[in-house]
Amino acid sequence: MKYSDYGKWTARATAWIERYFSTLPDQPVRAQTSVGDIAARLPQSPPDAPADMDVIMADFERIVPDGLTHWQHPRFFAYFPANAAPASMIAEQLTNAIAAQCMLWQTSPAATEVETVMVDWMRQALGLRDGFVGVIQDSASSATLSAVLTMRERALDFQGNTTGLSNTPRLRIYTSEQVHTSVDKAAWVAGIGQDNLVRIPTDENHAMRADALQDAIDADRAAGYTPAGLIMCTGGTSIGACDHLPPLIKIAKAEGLYTHLDAAWAGSAMICPELRHIWAGVDDCDSIVFNPHKWLGAQFDCSIQFLSDPAPQLKTMGIRPSFLETQGADEVTNYNEWTVPLGRRFRALKIWFLIRAYGLDGLRTRIRNHIKWAEMLADKLRNEPDFTITTDCRFSLFTFQYTPTGGDADTATAALLERINDDGRIYLTQTKHDGKFCIRFQAGQFDCTRDDVMLAYDVIVELARG
């Protein structure tokens, strides 16, 4: 295929995309294939001879759609969304065509400078104070890893990268059970270890207890350990739990701990000023992560890490061999020095297109609607005798159980979830909360409507009774 043919095939791809989205509401949300079905349709060995694009496109249309779980389906209520607003998709197409490796300012000045401005646009949109700067990471997992590595190096006087960890003090990082497992993985990768990730008890609202945090720090210091960092959450993955930040941060500052806030999903909601009280105290965090690719509509992958002071992370992550120097510009921003990967994509372009195409007001309306509709659905299920709301709405997320009389609720709930997802009209996922098997519901797909959310009630109740 030649560049001169690009227009022809992108036109065909665009036509397929338009058909895809126009028929999406009629498709089952979750893939209806069995394990191995798609792989069985592919040749077992790569071809030696080139194939015509007509054949390649025909094979794509024949093989791939059947095996898709449709994340852009308006009744995708599982996990958290990974939205792809049309304006973001167009920006991503341009990014793919440019194909810049944006590791340094000089390798793509536009990418670096647009990223700097877009991060500040988002800082303003979320109501964060002046002074925060940041970087666009691929996902919250990478941002959290960067923060944990910074905690490690800061606690070791920035000697860990040089001497290794074999003869260093045993570091401790504090968090609760409500944080995402990316925190666990960050502790593994950073060499701190699972056993040194200390889970702090939570209160009746599932927020980390400040008194228990202080007790744990005191006990660790008495045992000869070195407290290094604190990881909090706003909108935890399981039930949307939110830590009460001020007392936790006060303890962290008094104890010299580096603080990181995981607001990967719920951070997007902070473009709505009336919700910002939920993360009051956020301006005192050292590091904050949120994902525009979840609830705002920026195509995956696009995660912003804000830093109150970038110097510790740059000291931890930055490395500049002579072949990556920019002649005559020692102080230029090179975002690869803020992250684990050297290579970087032009992710900022889709944020620029997204915000300009919909405006903050348009994005706020979507988020407010999702929250309102989820609350309406929770209220309807609460009034059903065979259902129990196990956690109330946190933003647009709540959990429930199917609790018919005379049966085991965990077993009944799991069976109902299987029927719902096999039915295909909606897609939900599960969590364990207080030892109970619960169904999670979250509204957040970019184009879902009130009718889509209310259909979830019809499906849930119909399949429970049937």
What's the CATH code of the domain at 325?
3.40.640.10
Beta-sheet strand order (sheet of 397-402)? 387-394, 397-402, 436-442, 429-433
- What residues have CB less than 8 Å from 419, skipping those under 6 apart? 463
Question: Does the pLDDT of residue 90 top 80, yes or no?
Answer: yes
Q: What pLDDT does residue 466 have?
A: 79
Q: What pLDDT does residue 324 have?
A: 56
Q: Is residue 165 part of a domain?
A: yes
Q: Is residue 276 part of a domain?
A: yes
pLDDT in tens, 307-325: 999 999 999 988 776 545 5
Q: Cβ atoms within 10 A of the Cβ of 57, count?
A: 14
Distance CA 445, CA 84 (A): 9
pLDDT in tens, 95-109: 888 888 877 877 888
pLDDT in tens, 177-213: 888 888 999 999 999 999 999 999 999 999 999 999 9
Q: Is residue 240 part of a domain?
A: yes
Domain count, the chain: 1
Q: Whole-model pTM above 0.85?
A: yes
Averaged confidence pLDDT in the chain: 93
8 Å CB contact between 114 and 108: no
Residue-range definition of the domain harbouring residue 218? 101-345
Distance CA 65, CA 17 (A): 11
Q: Is residue 318 part of a domain?
A: yes
Q: Is residue 461 part of a domain?
A: no
Closest-CA residue to 352 (of 135, 90, 169, 83): 90
pLDDT in tens, 112-140: 899 999 999 999 999 999 999 999 999 99
Distance CA 26, CA 3 (A): 35
Q: Is residue 123 part of a domain?
A: yes
Residue with tokens 């050292």: 286
Q: Is residue 283 part of a domain?
A: yes
Distance CA 136, CA 152 (A): 22
Residue with tokens 């909601």: 269
pLDDT in tens, 7-62: 898 999 999 999 999 999 999 999 989 899 999 999 999 999 999 999 999 999 99
Q: What pLDDT does residue 321 have?
A: 62
pLDDT in tens, 225-279: 999 999 999 999 999 999 999 999 999 999 999 999 999 999 999 999 999 999 9
Q: Is residue 351 part of a domain?
A: no
